[in-house]
Chains A and B, each alone.
Chain A
Amino acid sequence: MTKKQIFMTSAFTENSIWRQILGICSALAVTNLMLNSLVMGLGVIFTLALSGFTISLLRNYIPKRIRMMVQTLIIASYVIIVDLVLKAYFPQISTALGPYVGLIITNCIIMGRAEAFAGKNPPLAAMIDGIGAGVGYTFVLLVISFVRELFGFGTLFGIPILGDWWTKWSIMVMAPSAFFMLAMLIWIVNTKSAKRG
């Protein structure tokens, strides 16, 4: 596979959310505001890329039986780095995201990519695969948060789009709407890919 194919496969064809139904917990939690979704996405891309790279680099040395422990350690370290950097250099965003940054550790996509790809492929490919999976994840988050923020607040990235006449849909702000949105998205994608064969 070429680098581009690796990227496209992990970002879209085998998208973690709509094909593998991974990482949906955070997709439900942070998608009521586009800005939070974007920062969360960037954090996940960073973690995926670097943890993929590191795990792939060490793949021939990691003892098979304890590989999950090692992966968790590496992933957790990168997530803490993201958290520390945000706290020190982007304190406002860090406050806005609150505990969500730390929760990147529990994002199944990262462990999933480590197991499915990084453990068996060279470092650069693993890094591209990680970026791809992260971009695919961020894309879904942005689509869902676009609808949720627009209908729930009448804004996009905090900028008012719909006027005062708009009655805000409180349900869009709350978690249940994320379930509906995600289900609809998966439905649309599956119908489309089924047609394509």
Chain B
Amino acid sequence: MVNKKTIFRETRAYPVVFMLLITIVFVGILAVLYQLTLHRVQTYRETQLKSMVLRTFDLPENDVEANFTKFISLREEADLTYYEATKDSVLLGFCFPISGSGLWSTIQALLAVTPDFKNIIDIEIVSQNETPGLGGRITESWFKAQFKGKLLVENHLIQQFTLIPENDQIKGFEINQITGATASSKAVVDMIYKNVLKYSKEMRAEL
């Protein structure tokens, strides 16, 4: 028996068989682990997204599921997908999943606007892979807060925001950019402009 084994280990087939077996074992373990954690990961992502939608409308986030069902409804029309928020039968606004290319990868965000498309309500960054400490700062509250209530329209036209240095006073259609992360700041501003333009057109908003 021992002799046979030694001989088999010297054959050409041995490395192939060994590699095949070890691959099956390890990939098997990973597949099981992936399945076990999949549900948890997905639930977390969904809850995270729902609570972000609520946050853009400044709605309570304590019971995400209940509040989401109560205030938010998902609309899917042709190639448009967006959330609609209603409170006490008053339409608060729309929340659009938007995305644009950042410095390293796609930035995904949620943008809430008033029903008349004239003002931004709030913005939340869903996912980004910008440089940590530089472009990654687009998730910081001071940066996002600049967009809160920001006017979008002048002379019935959607306006593009201009970027000014980080600590300067902003007025009108200006936004403070992040020092050392012009590309990431510009990406956010650009994706807001493009998407507001697209959605306002598709949804036939009177500007």
Contact = CB atoms under 8 A, between A and B. Distances in A.
Interface string B142-156: 000000000000000
A98 B171 CA distance: 35
Contacts of A36: 132
Interface stretch (B26-34, B61-69, B93-101, B186-194): B26-34
Contact of B18 (A62, A89, A91, A95): A62
A77 B37 contact: no
Contacts of A65: 15
Contact of A174 (B14, B18, B37, B180): B180
A159 to B, nearest CB: 15
A88 B18 contact: no
Interface string A136-178: 0000000000000000110000000000000000100110000
B34 to A, nearest CB: 6
Contact of B26 (A66, A74, A91): A74
B23 A32 contact: no
Interface in A87-102: 87-89, 91, 95-96, 98-99
A91 B40 CA distance: 10
B22 A70 contact: yes
A69 B171 CA distance: 59
B138 to A, nearest CB: 13
16 contacts: A63-B9, A63-B14, A65-B15, A69-B19, A73-B22, A77-B30, A80-B30, A81-B29, A81-B30, A84-B30, A84-B34, A88-B40, A91-B44, A98-B132, A99-B129, A173-B133
Nearest to B25: A77
Contact of A63 (B18, B26, B30, B180): B18
B179 interface: yes
Interface of B is mostly: helix
A33 interface: yes
Interface of B: 9, 14-15, 18-19, 22-23, 26-27, 29-30, 33-34, 37, 40-41, 44, 48, 127, 129, 131-134, 179-180
Contacts of A58: 22
A24 B29 CA distance: 30
A67 to B, nearest CB: 10
- Interface size, A (range): 20 to 34
A170 B19 CA distance: 48
B151 to A, nearest CB: 31
A36 to B, nearest CB: 7
Interface of A is mostly: helix
A98 B9 CA distance: 42
B179 A85 contact: no
A95 B129 CA distance: 9
A87 B19 CA distance: 29
Contacts of A70: 18-19, 22
A81 B26 CA distance: 11
Interface in A33-79: 33, 36, 58, 61-63, 65-66, 69-70, 73-74, 77
A87 B133 contact: no
Contact of A170 (B15, B30, B180): B180
Contacts of B19: 66, 69-70
Contacts of A74: 22, 26
A85 B40 CA distance: 10
Contacts of B30: 77, 80-81, 84
A63 B23 CA distance: 14
A87 B48 CA distance: 13
B181 to A, nearest CB: 10
Nearest to A65: B15
